[in-house]
Amino acid sequence: MGNRVPDIVPGLSAQRASFLRDLNYTSCISINLALSRRPAAETSFVVVPGPVSEGLFAIILEHNKVARRCPDGKGLCTMFMLNEWSVAHAEDDDETILAAMIGEVEKALPGIGDDIEFIRVIRWYPVLVYSHPGLYRKLGRFHAGRDRSARIHLAGSYNSSGNVNTATVTGERSARELVDSLEGRVPTSIKPTLAAAAL
Ligand SMILES: Cc1cc2nc3c(=O)[nH]c(=O)nc-3n(C[C@H](O)[C@H](O)[C@H](O)COP(=O)(O)OP(=O)(O)OC[C@H]3O[C@@H](n4cnc5c(N)ncnc54)[C@H](O)[C@@H]3O)c2cc1C
């Protein structure tokens, strides 16, 4: 998690460390529904609008997304809950969480509750950096202030919007910039000024 990086890398400038320490992360409760049969819907991903449900934001029909996610003829459906709902219900037991949400998934997939063979509830934390207005402007300054000649280069999805692509791209970039640094190939023009490094 980005907010824990300053404890691992104590040499960051105060401004860069402060940016990282201020990052906070979302939570998400997900429920996997193992189904005795597949719903008629052929879609793999349902995004749930706010007016339809206050807690549920996405439904994935895993058997439509990737073949062999579950036995032939059976179904696998995952429900994902919004951060605020997930935080409020993190201490609830699995049955209470399912009971609160089964009506929400039935709005899109009527009758699915009758076909549940078993469930798995997961309480995820951390999920993604909690974005708010101004975050990406600060992130741009944080990024511009990195020292390309350093021997430590940061990677991870907190370096942009949180996803696997970001994690991969920032990892590749950090590796590239580290090799450049170790081989003395950092152009003078992109070495940060003292002022920029302090960002
Ligand atoms: C439920 C859920 C659904 C998601 N869905 C998607 C999706 O559909 N598409 C998508 O693109 N992204 C999705 N994401 C986001 C994506 O998974 C993350 O953004 C991405 O995995 C972050 O990668 P990372 O390498 O930055 O961090 P991580 O994958 O968290 O890796 C950090 C690693 O560091 C290790 N670590 C921690 N502390 C230390 C330490 N002190 N010393 C050594 N090792 C340490 C951890 O064990 C971990 O292996 C989802 C996330 C969640 C939780």
Per-10-residue mean pLDDT of the chain, 199 residues long, equals 96 95 97 97 96 96 95 97 97 98 96 98 96 95 93 93 93 96 79 46
Spatial contact of 192 and 145, defined as CB atoms under 8 Å apart: yes
Cα 62 to the center of its chain, rounded Å: 19
> Is the CB of residue 169 below 6 angstroms from any atom belonging to ligand 1?
no
Q: Is 37 left (phi over 0), alpha (psi -120 to 50) or beta?
A: beta
**Which domains, and CATH codes, for the chain?**
2-24+131-197 (no CATH), 28-124 (3.90.660.10)
- Are 34 and 119 spatial neighbours (Cβ–Cβ below 8 Å)? yes
Which pLDDT value is given to residue 31? 98
* Cis ω for the linkage preceding 192 (within 30 of 0): no
Residue of minimum CA distance from atom 10 in ligand 1: 163
Residue whose CB lies within 8 A of the most ligand 1 atoms, among 27, 79, 83, 128, for a mutation test: 128
Total H helices, total E strands in the chain: 8, 5
Q: How far is the CA of 103 from the centre of ligand 1 (A)?
A: 31
| CA atoms of 37 and 35, how far apart (whole Å) | 5
Nearest CA to ligand 1 atom 48: 1
CB 153 within 8 A of CB 178: yes
Ligand 1, atom 52, lies closest to the CA of 127
Establish whether residue 125 lines the binding site of ligand 1, counting it when its CB lies within 6 angstroms of any ligand atom.
no
Nearest C-alpha neighbor of 27 from the set 100, 157, 124: 124
Chain segment 47-103, per-residue pLDDT in tens: 999 999 999 999 999 999 999 999 999 999 999 999 999 999 999 999 999 999 999
Mutate to test the pocket of ligand 1, among 56, 122, 152, 163 (most ligand atoms within 8 A of CB): 163
Take residue 142 and report the two structure tokens written for it: 């944080």
Mutation test residue for ligand 1: of 56, 124, 164, the one with most atoms within 8 Å of CB: 164
- The pLDDT assigned to 187 comes to 66
Task: Work out which ligand 1 atom sits closest to the CA atom of 28.
Answer: 1
Q: Is 3 in the pocket of ligand 1 (CB under 6 A)?
A: no
Kindly give the distance from the C-alpha atom of residue 5 to the centroid of ligand 1, in angstroms, as a whole number: 14
Percent of residues, the chain, with pLDDT higher than 90: 90
